[in-house]
Amino acid sequence: MVSTVETVVQSALDVERIREDFPILHQTVYADKPLTYLDNAATSQTPRPVVQALVDYYEQSNANVHRALHYLGEQATAQFEAARASIANWIGAPAPQNIILTRGTTESINLVARAWCDAHLREGDEILVTAMEHHSNWVPWQLACQRHGATFRIAPITETGELDLEEFGRLLSERTRLVAVTHMSNVLGTINPVADLVKQSHAVGATVLIDAAQSVPHMPVDVATLEADFVVFSSHKMCGPTGVGVLYARDGALAEVGPFLGGGEMISKVGDTESSWAELPYKYEAGTPNIADVVAAGAAVDYLTHMGLDRIHAYEQELTSYLIERLDSLPDVRIFGRAAKRGGAVSFEVSGIHPHDLSQYVDQQGVAIRAGHLCAQPLMRRLGVPAVSRASVYLYNTHAEIDRLIAAIEAAQRFFQA
């Protein structure tokens, strides 16, 4: 047994085998074009074992959690809590209580921006973000600053699309109450040196939230090593279902912080005028949670663990290099973001072709890419474009699919050229 495990760990990803787990990939669209899915940064596809977990849950274990004192209720609760424990273990959290289950990255961030900021953000304080944040790691902090009379600061990026570390350091001060930074940019692909950023931020007494929506699905992330206070991500970008998000909170990070949503489950005692709150993580899980999808998210963790995040990361690094090399070989194509450390989200423009025309054209060849501002309008302004096109890879993508994208772009260039 031990030796087989070792050979598995050493060997590369068996992509053809993995693709068999994703029935959605095996279809032709627009009559005869093989579907080529390269929009993984928006959402990932769902492998059979994860879909099966949903089916099994509804066919065998469905009940409300934490309340029903009957067989199914216990089954559902046990599976729900097992999923929480898998997630905790997967990202190196000390205990399941460090994992608060939400509806998504966006809700996780809003939870902190509401509850934590209500307790800690004061007039004159500052919140520091970077110019490469997704709207969901931007707008909630802007709103919090407006509510509390705090100042919203933005650390700039360099020509290569990396965080300007010098400026970041300059913007940090004892006024900085919270730093919110993405681990990996969904536009530029840039992987930020978050462990260093956390150290610097802690040194001035700031709390740190890491948006790991694009990193956790693609590379090993260990929250204990990062030492961040909050880490957030979404199930639907990591082979899991939609409607589940994670908020990891370091021990003590939510001490003295009031509740977010009020309702069932999050209470300890409900009085006529006042109530008291449940322990973590339940204090922040008001109402019936998304039980089935959480259970399936646990199955997604098992799936990715089985494939090996280090192997997935290594494979995607290779595939991304190939994608960049092929894009660079085309005339009139410009890539946004040339970070030394990067992941598999690659944004680009083809001169003379608007991103919407390009994505529509390649879509008709069966190739799904994303076009638009990618929920990063502040970054678009800094890049000086209204919109970009983006291809993003995952563990089931192949070199042949990259070739199909490139051929489709070449065809679009012929079609639209003046």
Partner 1 sequence: MDDLEQIYQEMILDHYKHPRNAELLADDPVLADEENPMCGDRIQLTCQINDEQIEAVRYKISGCAVSRASASMMSEALQGLPIEEANDLIEQFVAAMRGERELDPDWHEDLMALSGVRKFPLRVKCATLAWHGMAKALSERKA
| Residue 212 interface partner, choices partner 1, ligand PLP, none, CB cut-off 5-8 Å depending on type | none
Q: Which of 187, 172, 66, 76 is nearest to 127 (CA)?
A: 172
Only segment of 48-56, 62-70, 98-106, 160-168 that touches ligand PLP (CB under 6 A): 98-106
Which one of ligand PLP, partner 1, none interacts with residue 364, CB within 5 to 8 A by kind?
A: partner 1
Of ligand PLP, partner 1, none, which one does residue 203 interact with (CB within 5 to 8 Å by kind)? none
For residue 46, the partner it binds in partner 1, ligand PLP, none, with Cβ less than 5 to 8 A by kind, is none
As given in the structure block, the two tokens for residue 272 are 């006529």
Q: Is 375 one of the annotated active-site residues of the chain?
A: yes
Least distance CB 208 / partner 1 (angstroms): 31
What value does the CA radius of gyration of the chain take, rounded to a whole number of Å? 22
Question: Which residue in the set 21, 125, 162, 211 belongs to the binding site for ligand PLP (CB under 6 A)?
Answer: 211
Annotated catalytic residue, options 117, 145, 239, 375: 375
Q: Which stretch binds ligand PLP (CB under 6 A): 99-107, 273-281, 295-303, 307-315?
A: 99-107
Nearest distance from C-beta of residue 188 to ligand PLP, angstroms: 11
How far apart (Å, rounded) are the C-alpha atoms in residues 245 and 225?
Answer: 21
**Residue with the two structure tokens 């460090």:** 98
Q: What is the DSSP letter of 353?
A: B
231 binds ligand PLP (CB under 6 A): no
Strands 367-368 and 370-372: unpaired
HSE-CB for 136 with a 13 A CA cutoff:
22
Which of 211, 223, 148 is CA-nearest to residue 180? Answer: 211
Query: Which residues are near partner 1 by CB under 8 A?
Result: 30, 354-357, 360-361, 364, 371-373, 377, 380, 386-387, 415-416, 418
Terminal Cα distance for the chain, rounded: 62
Contact between 66 and 415 (Cβ < 8 Å): no
Residues 167-186 as x/- pattern, contact with ligand PLP by CB under 6 A = ---------------x---x
Q: Which of residues 106-125 bind ligand PLP (CB under 6 A)?
A: 106
Residue 137's binding partner out of ligand PLP, partner 1, none, with CB under 5 to 8 Å set by partner kind: ligand PLP
| The amino acid at 127 | I
C-alpha pair distances (Å), 229 with each of 117, 163, 247? 14, 20, 10
Widest Cα–Cα separation across the chain: 73
The residue (of 133 and 293) whose beta carbon lies closer to partner 1 is: 133
Contact residue for ligand PLP among 136, 190, 320, 413 (CB under 6 A): 136
Residue 396: both structure tokens together: 């089931």
Nearest to 178 by CA among 153, 203, 206: 206
| By the rule CB under 6 A, 134 interacts with ligand PLP | yes
Residues tagged active-site: 375
Which residues make up the interface to ligand PLP (CB under 6 A)?
41, 104-106, 134, 136-137, 182, 186, 211, 213-214, 234, 375
